Amino acid sequence: MLRVYLARNGEYRVEPLLEAGYHAHGDSMEWLLGITSAATDPANVLSSMQQGKWIAKGQLSQLLAHIVELERRKAQTNSGEGNWTPEDHEPSLISALLDEKKFAEARAELARIPEGKRNSWPWLDSELRLADAEGRLPQLAAQWKKQPESAPASNFLQSSVQALSAPSKRIVMRFVYERALDAAS
Protein backbone atom coordinates (compact mmCIF):
# COMPACT_ATOMS: atom_id res chain seq x y z
CA MET A 1 0.00 0.00 0.00
CA LEU A 2 2.83 2.39 0.84
CA ARG A 3 4.41 1.87 -2.58
CA VAL A 4 1.11 2.81 -4.24
CA TYR A 5 0.79 5.87 -2.00
CA LEU A 6 4.34 6.99 -2.87
CA ALA A 7 3.76 6.45 -6.58
CA ARG A 8 0.60 8.56 -6.50
CA ASN A 9 1.40 11.23 -3.92
CA GLY A 10 5.18 11.51 -3.77
CA GLU A 11 6.32 13.30 -0.62
CA TYR A 12 2.88 14.64 0.36
CA ARG A 13 2.38 13.68 4.04
CA VAL A 14 4.45 10.55 3.61
CA GLU A 15 7.05 11.16 6.32
CA PRO A 16 4.99 9.80 9.27
CA LEU A 17 4.18 6.69 7.24
CA LEU A 18 7.82 6.15 6.30
CA GLU A 19 8.93 6.76 9.88
CA ALA A 20 6.52 4.13 11.18
CA GLY A 21 7.62 1.62 8.52
CA TYR A 22 11.29 2.39 9.15
CA HIS A 23 10.93 1.68 12.87
CA ALA A 24 8.72 -1.37 12.22
CA HIS A 25 11.53 -2.79 10.05
CA GLY A 26 14.14 -2.36 12.79
CA ASP A 27 15.40 1.07 11.65
CA SER A 28 16.40 -0.44 8.32
CA MET A 29 17.86 2.10 5.92
CA GLU A 30 17.77 -0.56 3.19
CA TRP A 31 13.99 -0.84 3.64
CA LEU A 32 13.59 2.95 3.55
CA LEU A 33 15.67 3.33 0.39
CA GLY A 34 13.86 0.42 -1.26
CA ILE A 35 10.34 1.62 -0.48
CA THR A 36 11.00 5.19 -1.60
CA SER A 37 12.11 3.92 -5.01
CA ALA A 38 8.38 3.59 -5.79
CA ALA A 39 8.03 7.40 -5.83
CA THR A 40 8.26 9.32 -9.09
CA ASP A 41 11.12 11.34 -7.60
CA PRO A 42 12.76 9.28 -4.82
CA ALA A 43 15.48 11.90 -4.23
CA ASN A 44 12.83 14.52 -3.45
CA VAL A 45 11.03 12.18 -1.03
CA LEU A 46 14.28 11.26 0.72
CA SER A 47 15.52 14.84 0.94
CA SER A 48 12.28 15.85 2.65
CA MET A 49 13.17 13.56 5.57
CA GLN A 50 16.89 14.28 5.95
CA GLN A 51 16.12 16.75 8.76
CA GLY A 52 13.97 14.18 10.55
CA LYS A 53 15.23 13.31 14.01
CA TRP A 54 14.01 9.75 13.57
CA ILE A 55 16.83 8.55 11.31
CA ALA A 56 19.10 6.33 13.44
CA LYS A 57 22.48 7.71 14.40
CA GLY A 58 25.11 6.72 11.87
CA GLN A 59 22.61 6.28 9.01
CA LEU A 60 22.26 9.87 7.82
CA SER A 61 25.30 9.49 5.57
CA GLN A 62 23.67 6.46 3.89
CA LEU A 63 20.52 8.47 3.24
CA LEU A 64 22.46 11.43 1.86
CA ALA A 65 24.76 9.21 -0.23
CA HIS A 66 21.69 7.68 -1.87
CA ILE A 67 20.20 11.13 -2.54
CA VAL A 68 23.47 12.34 -4.09
CA GLU A 69 23.69 9.22 -6.25
CA LEU A 70 20.10 9.70 -7.47
CA GLU A 71 20.82 13.37 -8.22
CA ARG A 72 24.01 12.47 -10.12
CA ARG A 73 22.05 10.02 -12.27
CA LYS A 74 19.31 12.59 -12.84
CA ALA A 75 21.87 15.25 -13.78
CA GLN A 76 23.45 12.89 -16.33
CA THR A 77 20.17 11.99 -17.98
CA ASN A 78 18.52 15.43 -17.79
CA SER A 79 21.52 17.70 -18.29
CA GLY A 80 20.32 21.21 -17.59
CA GLU A 81 16.64 20.35 -17.14
CA GLY A 82 16.40 19.62 -13.40
CA ASN A 83 16.23 22.07 -10.55
CA TRP A 84 18.47 19.94 -8.36
CA THR A 85 22.14 19.27 -8.76
CA PRO A 86 24.35 16.93 -6.75
CA GLU A 87 25.91 20.02 -5.18
CA ASP A 88 22.65 20.59 -3.30
CA HIS A 89 23.36 17.62 -1.01
CA GLU A 90 27.09 16.87 -1.38
CA PRO A 91 28.15 19.30 1.39
CA SER A 92 25.60 17.71 3.75
CA LEU A 93 26.84 14.24 2.81
CA ILE A 94 30.46 15.13 3.52
CA SER A 95 29.49 16.77 6.81
CA ALA A 96 27.51 13.68 7.85
CA LEU A 97 30.46 11.43 6.95
CA LEU A 98 32.73 13.59 9.09
CA ASP A 99 30.24 13.54 11.97
CA GLU A 100 30.12 9.74 11.72
CA LYS A 101 33.96 9.63 11.61
CA LYS A 102 33.98 7.99 8.16
CA PHE A 103 37.05 9.93 7.09
CA ALA A 104 38.09 7.79 4.10
CA GLU A 105 34.62 8.13 2.57
CA ALA A 106 34.59 11.88 3.28
CA ARG A 107 38.00 12.21 1.60
CA ALA A 108 36.73 10.28 -1.43
CA GLU A 109 33.68 12.56 -1.74
CA LEU A 110 35.84 15.68 -1.37
CA ALA A 111 38.16 14.38 -4.09
CA ARG A 112 35.21 14.54 -6.52
CA ILE A 113 35.01 18.31 -6.01
CA PRO A 114 37.28 20.36 -8.29
CA GLU A 115 40.30 21.86 -6.49
CA GLY A 116 39.22 25.44 -7.14
CA LYS A 117 35.82 24.91 -5.52
CA ARG A 118 37.26 23.27 -2.41
CA ASN A 119 38.76 26.60 -1.32
CA SER A 120 35.37 28.26 -0.98
CA TRP A 121 32.22 27.81 1.01
CA PRO A 122 30.73 25.21 1.70
CA TRP A 123 33.56 22.89 0.76
CA LEU A 124 36.26 24.61 2.79
CA ASP A 125 34.47 23.76 6.06
CA SER A 126 34.64 20.08 5.18
CA GLU A 127 38.20 20.30 3.89
CA LEU A 128 39.38 21.89 7.14
CA ARG A 129 37.38 19.51 9.35
CA LEU A 130 38.87 16.53 7.54
CA ALA A 131 42.41 17.91 7.78
CA ASP A 132 41.82 18.59 11.49
CA ALA A 133 40.54 15.05 12.12
CA GLU A 134 43.47 13.50 10.26
CA GLY A 135 46.06 15.80 11.85
CA ARG A 136 47.03 17.31 8.48
CA LEU A 137 46.18 20.93 9.22
CA PRO A 138 49.77 22.04 10.01
CA GLN A 139 50.95 20.60 6.66
CA LEU A 140 48.04 22.26 4.87
CA ALA A 141 48.89 25.66 6.40
CA ALA A 142 52.57 25.16 5.47
CA GLN A 143 51.48 24.42 1.89
CA TRP A 144 49.41 27.64 1.83
CA LYS A 145 52.47 29.61 3.00
CA LYS A 146 54.61 28.13 0.22
CA GLN A 147 51.94 28.67 -2.43
CA PRO A 148 49.81 31.63 -1.28
CA GLU A 149 47.92 31.72 -4.59
CA SER A 150 46.43 28.29 -3.80
CA ALA A 151 45.32 29.30 -0.30
CA PRO A 152 41.66 30.01 0.39
CA ALA A 153 40.55 33.60 0.89
CA SER A 154 40.97 34.89 4.43
CA ASN A 155 37.27 35.60 4.88
CA PHE A 156 36.44 31.98 3.95
CA LEU A 157 39.06 30.71 6.38
CA GLN A 158 37.79 32.91 9.20
CA SER A 159 34.22 31.71 8.75
CA SER A 160 35.25 28.06 8.43
CA VAL A 161 37.19 27.65 11.68
CA GLN A 162 34.14 27.34 13.94
CA ALA A 163 33.96 23.53 13.78
CA LEU A 164 37.69 22.99 14.31
CA SER A 165 39.53 22.03 17.48
CA ALA A 166 41.20 24.85 19.43
CA PRO A 167 44.76 24.05 18.21
CA SER A 168 43.55 23.89 14.61
CA LYS A 169 41.69 27.18 14.95
CA ARG A 170 44.95 28.77 16.13
CA ILE A 171 46.85 27.36 13.14
CA VAL A 172 44.33 28.72 10.64
CA MET A 173 43.93 32.09 12.35
CA ARG A 174 47.72 32.46 12.62
CA PHE A 175 47.96 31.89 8.86
CA VAL A 176 45.26 34.54 8.28
CA TYR A 177 47.06 36.97 10.59
CA GLU A 178 50.48 36.41 8.97
CA ARG A 179 48.93 36.79 5.52
CA ALA A 180 47.42 40.13 6.54
CA LEU A 181 50.80 41.28 7.91
CA ASP A 182 52.55 40.29 4.67
CA ALA A 183 49.93 42.14 2.63
CA ALA A 184 50.37 45.26 4.75
CA SER A 185 54.14 45.40 4.26
Residues 78 and 133 in one domain: no
**Boundary residue ending a domain (50, 85, 112):** 112
Tell which wins on pLDDT, 132 or 150. 132
- Of 1, 79, 70, 77, nearest in space to 40 by CA: 70
pLDDT band at 86 (very low <50, low <70, confident <90, very high): low
Average pLDDT over residues 134-156: 92
Residue 106 pLDDT greater than 60, yes or no? yes
Residues 122 and 105 in one domain: no
Q: What pLDDT does 179 receive?
A: 93
Residues 104 and 130 in one domain: no
Domain total in the chain: 2
**Structural domain boundaries enclosing 87:** 1-112
**Boundary residue ending a domain (95, 112, 129):** 112
Query: 90 near 96, Cβ under 8 Å?
Result: no
Residues 77 and 138 in one domain: no
Tell me the per-residue pLDDT of 37-70, one tens digit each, with 9 for 90 and over.
Answer: 999 999 999 988 888 889 998 999 999 999 999 9
CA distance 139 to 114: 20
